[in-house]
Each structure stands twice: as structure tokens, then as C-alpha cells.
Structure 1
């Protein structure tokens, strides 16, 4: 199996970390959608990271779809998504807001780093910043209890909500330094610190 894309993408990184937690071996191909556009296009004409290539050559795109496929390859007790309906709903809630935070972080970074300064639209940028803050506000509120209790978000083991929330937080801190104050989000900062110390995260460094 091949995972194609750069680890500075939270979407690539959440797949890499998840595969490490699941004990799945894979080949990582660090091809950039920006610096290696033509090379990436030869692999996947859509040029979307992550691109995941199954052993039979089938390509999967979109990190959530890739992770769904991988979760179905392991025994139910080892899966990273809860199986019980209410627990799965709560997990999807956390993952959804974490992915929204990733998307808004990317939009801000693109606006600041790729668009010429005289072409930037301040009201749009402020709107996206507000959305990013709202995503992290929601996550902070909803993870605080588990973090205070020293638990993972779905119980006694690391699962997909932990991975995705931690990856989203670290990505925002890395890409937008100073934008999101850790002092405002102590639970998210603590969850990230705990997760980033694990071998699965250390083995998939952001940069």
C-alpha cells in the first residue's frame, strides 16, 4: 500500500498516524501537490493529497474515505471508529469539527501565502478566522471533560477522534503560529501534547 502526499498536510498525516496505530505497513511517497505537480498528476490526474494506492492498484482519495476502508480491514475491536451508534455519532461530531478546523487553517494559509497582498479580501479572511475559532471553541468545550479525566476521547484507547483532533491542533499551530493561542484552549493543547509523544505521531512528523 502506498500513501502519497506530504506530512505537512493534516489529511495525509491523519492517515499515516492511523495506519501506524493499526499496525499497517505502507510506503510513504512524499510528493507535493505544489512542488511536484506534474509528478503527482502522473500518479493521480486529480492531484489530490492524500492519494492512497491499494495493493491491487486501486486509488482512493479523501482521508475520511481512506480511513473508512482501512478500518474495515481490521477486527471490530481494533477499529479506530466506535461501532456503537451513539459513540460513533459523538466521534463523527469531533472529527467533523476537527476537519473543519483543518480546512479553515488551509484557507487562511493560502490567502496569506499564495494570494498577492493587494488581492486579499480582508472581510473574507476575517470570516474564515471566525470559523476557525468557532471550530476550536467547539472542540475545546467537548474534549475538556475527557482530557481532565486523563482519558482518551472515546474511552481507554487512542481512536480516530483523538488522532484527527490532535493532528488538526498541531497543524494550526505549525501553519499559523500565533493565530490560535494555546492558553485559550488548554484541553486541546494538552491532548495534542499527549498524542504527539506517541510513537505513531513521532513516526509521522509534521515537518
Structure 2
């Protein structure tokens, strides 16, 4: 099994952490969507990460689809999300909010580092969306007393929020203040203390596109 993508991507990292928690061995190819776009295109014509190549050669793309497959393989007793019901719907909503936050944070990186510009209206909109999601997640997390979002066991909602918060702190240091969102700050700290998080970490870096 081969996982393609840099660990500084919250989407790649959430998949890698799930693989670690499931105890699934894999080869990691730290390919950049810019510097190694041609190599990625061999497996994924979208030239996006994460891309997961299974042992039989099948290729899975998009983090949510990859995790859905991993959960199916793990089975209901081990899956990192509730099998159904309200808890599953709520967890998927948290995952969707965190994924959307990540999309906006990545868009701001592209605006600054790739497009070499900062369109004020677009930046303001993205910042507003990021702040709104952080506030919604803060309210939800603060209302839950358990060590993790849905009780004693970590799940996909915990993982994606932890990954996104690290990316946000590194890519946009002024966008996430621990004093403003203390429950999320504590959540991020708990995530990063886990060996599975520590095993798949990479400082934020934007590889320039090929000339």
C-alpha cells in the first residue's frame, strides 16, 4: 500500500494517522502536487493528494473516500466513527466543517504563494469562513466533557480537527489564537501528544511549481 502526499497537508495527514491507528503498514511517497505533479498524475489525473494505491493496484482518491474504505476494512468494532445514527451524522458534520476550513486555509496559501497576490475581497471571505467554523467547532467541543469529541475513543472528527488546527497555525499563524478558541487549543494539544500524530508530521512548506 502506498500513500502519496506531504504530511503538511491536513488531508494527507488525517489518512496517515488513521492508517497508524488501524495498524496498517504502508509506503509513504512525499510527493508535492506541484513539484511531482506528473508523477502523481500517473495514479490520479486530478494531481491531488492524498492518493492511496492499494496492494492490488486499485487507486483511491480524496481523504473521505479513503477513510470510508479503511473503516469498511476495519469493521464496525474498530472503525474510527460510529456505525450509524445521530453520533455518526454529528461526527460527519464536524469532519465536513473541518475539511471546509482546511480548504479555505489552503486557498489562502495558494492566493499568497502560488498566485502571488492577495485579493482583499477573497481573503476577507476566506478569513470570515475560517473564523465562523472555528467558533462553531469551539462551541461544540466545549460542550463535550470527554477526552475526545464523542467519548473515550478518538475518531475521525478528532483527527481532522487536530490536523487542520496544526496546518492553520503553521500556514496562517494569526488566524488561530488559543485564547479565543481554548477548547480547540486544548484539543489540538491532546492530538499532537499522541504517538500516531507525532509519527506523521512535517513542517508546512510550499514547493514551487515546475517551470
TM-score (norm 1): 0.94
Equivalence for 1:21? 21
Q: Secondary structure at the match of 1:43?
A: coil
Give the unaligned 5+ runs of structure 1. none
Partner of 1:123: 121
- Confirm whether residue 7 of structure 1 aligns to residue 7 of structure 2: yes
Note the residue ranges of structure 2 that are not aligned, 5 or more in a row.
Answer: 204-211
Residues 171-190 of structure 1 aligned to structure 2 (within 5 Å): 171-190=167-186
> Displacement of 1:145 after TM fit?
2.3
State the match for 1:68 in structure 2: 68
Higher-helix-fraction structure: 1
Partner of 2:103: 103
Cα separation, 1, equivalents of 2:189 and 2:122: 32
CA-CA distance at 1:150 after TM superposition: 4.3
Residues 44 and 61, structure 2, Cα contact 8 Å, conserved in 1: no
The ranges of structure 1 where at least 4 consecutive aligned residues each deviate by more than 3 angstroms after the TM superposition are none
User: Is 1:196 aligned to 2:209, yes or no?
Assistant: no
Instruction: Tell me which of 140, 150, 161 is aligned to 1:142.
Output: 140
Corresponding residue to 2:162 among 159, 166, 182: 166
Measure how far apart 1:42 and its partner are: 2.9
Q: Distance in 1 between matches of 2:45 and 2:86?
A: 38
Aligned counterparts of 1:114 and 1:156: Cα–Cα separation in 2: 41
